[in-house]
Amino acid sequence: MIKPHGSDTLNPLFVYDSSEHEELLHEAENLPSLIINSAAAGNAVMLGAGYFNPLTGYMNLADALSVAETMKTTDGLFWPTPVLCRSDDVEAIRDKKRIALRDPNVEEHPIMAVMDVEAIEEMSDAEMNLIAEKVYGTTDSEHPGVNTFMNDGRFIISGSIQVLSFSYFQSEFPDTFRTAVEIRNDIKERGWKKVVAFQTRNPMHLAHEELCHMAMDRLGCDGLVIHMLLGKLKPGDIPAPVRDAAIRKMVELYFKPNSAMVTGYGFDMLYAGPREAVLHAVFRQNMGATHFIIGRDHAGVGDYYGAFDAQTIFDDMVPAGALEIEIFRADHTAYSKKLDKVVMMRDAPDHSKEDFVLLSGTKVREMLGNGIAPPKEFSRPEVAQILMDYYQSIN
């Protein structure tokens, strides 16, 4: 099986030993505590689940700046985006060496982790702008990722953590949320050797489904891991439970048995385009995938990134050998009226735009909201029905 990033074995930061877990929870109740923001909570979940291997906790300012500028930590570890715990109010933990981190996304803010504080550092405006510019490619506050980053707090609290909770993800998505440890074990049990991962924050229409089949066929893969984001999205995106139901129905009806697993991870979307695509590749390697599909405008938003920037970054900025996972580069995929099947547009150079079934996201949402199923060349009817039910329930 493919090695995790940066180490020979996966080292998740979740405390699995029940007696140690209980002792830490008891200790944490008496420690100074900080209610962290949603981004830091997502980072804690990813650290606990092994997705952010080999990190041992939150980065300090020097590492955050180094990662932003060079995609390496100060000690040379390849890493594409800062992994931070930030706040605007650190009075309760100032000068404290050991603290409890509390969950912002669950009622009564239960303890998520215990942290050994290395430093509390204040970022300057120039440093915040530099990180935003390098990671997001812009400092425009209209960019949802930049907006979140600029408002998450000026103080960076760094240090190693022991994770005690996966927040609401295990309870709300018991059939879908999986740690990197669990996915690795599942891949091994299924006997898969070559595994391709597909990232999604949306329901999967016919083009997505066929893209996964194409990748599996062309790479000779034993299995597919559909890995959906379960954390916070931008307003207007379809809630995770609806996406989950739609994707499961598609896999049940249109994939061979034991060829695809539907899983999810607990993290908030960054909308960081190319940098986030590299982060996605890192944690897919950590969960055991040998290949990862990256399509047009992967992890992008608006017009902030070029259509294939998330692919070319692997040529321009990822050093040879930095990652073992391989990238499957996808073009826009759509139904060809000429060929009567879904194709990648680059594979049909003799086609004009009119030869494809193309619908905008706005048009599809409008149809679903009016109880009109998109054409079968765009969406499976069983998937469309689940989405129609959702859109009509909110209209």
- 207 confidence band (pLDDT: 50, 70, 90): very high
Instruction: Establish if 35 belongs to a structural domain.
Output: yes
Q: In total, how many domains does the chain have? A: 2
Most confident among 201-205, 238-242, 276-280, 332-336 (mean pLDDT): 276-280
Instruction: Please state, for a pLDDT cut of 90, what percent of the chain lies above it.
Output: 90
Catalytic residue among 98, 154, 190, 201: 201
38 neighbors 47 (Cβ within 8 angstroms): no
Q: Is the pLDDT of residue 235 over 80?
A: no
Range of the domain at 41: 18-170
Instruction: Indicate if 362 and 245 belong to the same structural domain.
Output: yes
Residue 115 pairs in a beta bridge with: 99, 161
Q: Which of 55, 82, 50, 51 is nearest to 66 (CA)?
A: 82
pLDDT tens digits for 276-318? 999 999 999 999 999 999 998 999 999 999 999 999 999 999 9
Instruction: Establish if 1 belongs to a structural domain.
Output: no
Tokens 């379809």, located at residue:
238
Query: CA 54 to CA 47: how far, in whole Å?
Result: 9
Instruction: Indicate if 159 and 230 belong to the same structural domain.
Output: no
Instruction: Indicate if 240 and 256 belong to the same structural domain.
Output: yes
Q: What is the CATH classification number for the domain harbouring 106?
A: 3.10.400.10
Per-residue burial over 299-310, b if 16 or more Cβ lie within 10 Å, else e, is bbbeebbeebbb
Is residue 107 helix, strand or coil?
coil
Q: Which of 275, 284, 258 is nearest to 198 (CA)?
A: 284
131: phi then psi, degrees, rounded to nearest 5: -60, -45
Instruction: Report the DSSP pairing between strands 111-122 and 155-163.
Output: antiparallel
Instruction: Indicate if 38 and 121 belong to the same structural domain.
Output: yes
Q: Is the pLDDT of residue 233 over 80?
A: no
Catalytic residue among 154, 190, 202, 329: 202
336: phi then psi, degrees, rounded to nearest 5: -90, 120
Query: CA 286 to CA 4: how far, in whole Å?
Result: 4
What pLDDT is recorded for position 240?
Answer: 83
Decide which of 170, 190, 219 is a domain's last residue: 170
What pLDDT is recorded for position 114?
Answer: 98
Instruction: Indicate if 131 and 278 belong to the same structural domain.
Output: no
Please measure the distance between the N-terminal and C-terminal CA atoms of the chain and give it in whole angstroms. Answer: 47
Whether 201 is catalytic is yes
Instruction: Establish if 389 belongs to a structural domain.
Output: yes
Query: CA 144 to CA 374: how far, in whole Å?
Result: 29
Q: How many CA atoms lie within 13 A of 350 on its CB side?
A: 3
pLDDT tens digits for 358-390? 988 788 888 988 899 999 999 999 999 999 999
- 118 confidence band (pLDDT: 50, 70, 90): very high
Residue 199 pairs in a beta bridge with: 227
Instruction: Indicate if 63 and 181 belong to the same structural domain.
Output: no
State the burial class of residue 70 (Cβ atoms within 10 Å of its Cβ: 0-12, 13-18, 19+): middle
Tokens 């430093």, located at residue:
119
Instruction: Establish if 228 belongs to a structural domain.
Output: yes
Instruction: Establish if 3 belongs to a structural domain.
Output: no
Instruction: Please state, for a pLDDT cut of 70, what percent of the chain lies above it.
Output: 99
69 neighbors 134 (Cβ within 8 angstroms): yes
Instruction: Indicate if 254 and 132 belong to the same structural domain.
Output: no
Region 332-338: what's the mean pLDDT? 93
Whether 178 is catalytic is no
What pLDDT is recorded for position 236?
Answer: 73
| Mean pLDDT value across the chain | 95
pLDDT tens digits for 71-97? 999 999 999 999 999 999 999 999 999
pTM of the model: 0.94
